[in-house]
Amino acid sequence: MKIRLIRRYAAQGFTLIELLLVLVILTALAAVVVPKFVGRGKQAKIVQATTDISGLGTALSAFEVDNGRYPTSAEGLGALSVAPGGLSTSWHGPYIDRPVINDPWGNPYVYSCPGTHNTDGYDLHSFGPSGQDGGEDNIDNWSAR
């Protein structure tokens, strides 16, 4: 008889109060955990752009060692993947594994040589999250970060 009562009680499922209690606990946990992860996406994109600029800087330095100069503004970052005209004998690339991609916000990296900020070298930057030049959120190779 006792076994029959236990089976009957177990088959009934959860009560409304038990379900509400679980929802309250999950809501409290979400209130604590979610704010810690909000903003991480923006931070990750900034780190990715900084890393891309650093990696492109290394490739540009290798290009300069082989060719005695950086790619011109007209040649752009594409010169790291495909030899520009007139450099077929000194160009030992490709200097990057994959073609130059856009920054994490979908905008192209901006390259100029000679640079405005680095007159003996090049300027390389991303417009950052705003997508506009000159903002405080620009990520570049001439500012100390």
What is the residue-averaged pLDDT of the chain? 82
* pTM for the structure as a whole: 0.70
pLDDT by residue (tens digit) across 12-53? 677 878 888 888 888 888 777 777 776 677 888 888 888 888
CA 116 remoteness from chain centre: 25
pLDDT by residue (tens digit) across 86-105? 777 888 888 888 887 789 98
- Give how far Cα 77 sits from Cα of 61, 68, 102, 123, Å: 12, 16, 11, 11
